[in-house]
Amino acid sequence: MRNTEDGTMKVFYKTRATATGGRTGHTALDDGGLALDLARPGSTHVGANPEQLFALGYAACFDSALSMVAGQMKLVATSKTSVEVGIGQRPDGGYTLDIDIYVETTGIDAEQAQQLVEAAHKVCPYSNATRNNVDVRLHATAL
C-alpha cells in the first residue's frame, strides 16, 4: 500500500454496514450485498453474532495473505485457514476478543509452513488491526 504525499494511508477500498438492535437485531451491508439477523451466542434465536462475522472475515483475509506471501517467498503451497474468535471480559470490566488462527498447508514442510504463517500475520489487515491489542495465537500444520 502506498502512502500519499502528506503521509496518510491511501485507501483503496471501503465498505459500510449498518446494524440495528445490537446483538439481537439485524445487520446489512449498505450496498445490499449481505444482510443477517443477529443472535446472542447460546440463545435459541436463529442468527449470527459479531464474533462469527469477525471470524469469517479474518479467515478469508488471512488465507488471501498466505497466498500473496507464498508467491513472494516463491513457495508452491495451498492453504486452508480457520479462525476461532472468542469474547471475554478484561479485569477492568471491558470486553476483548481472543483469537486462534489455524492454517493447514500442502506442498511445503512444517518449517516453511510456520514461516509462511508468521509472514502472513505481518501483512494481513486483520492481524495489523489486532496487533498489540488482542491475543492472537498462530497454529501452522503442514500436511
Domain boundaries, the chain: 1-48, 50-142
Query: What integer pLDDT is reported at residue 128 of this predicted model?
Result: 97
Query: What integer pLDDT is reported at residue 1 of this predicted model?
Result: 47
Cell of 31: 450496498
Give the chain's mean pLDDT.
95
CATH superfamily of the domain spanning 50-142: K homology (KH) domain (3.30.300.20)
Q: What does R_g of the chain's alpha carbons equal in angstroms?
A: 17
Helix or strand (DSSP H, E) at 97: strand 95-106
Class for domain 1-48, per CATH? mainly beta
- Could you give the CA distance from residue 127 to residue 120 in angstroms, rounded to a whole number? 9
Q: What is the pLDDT of residues 28-80, one digit of tens each?
A: 999 999 999 999 998 999 999 999 999 999 999 999 999 999 999 999 999 99
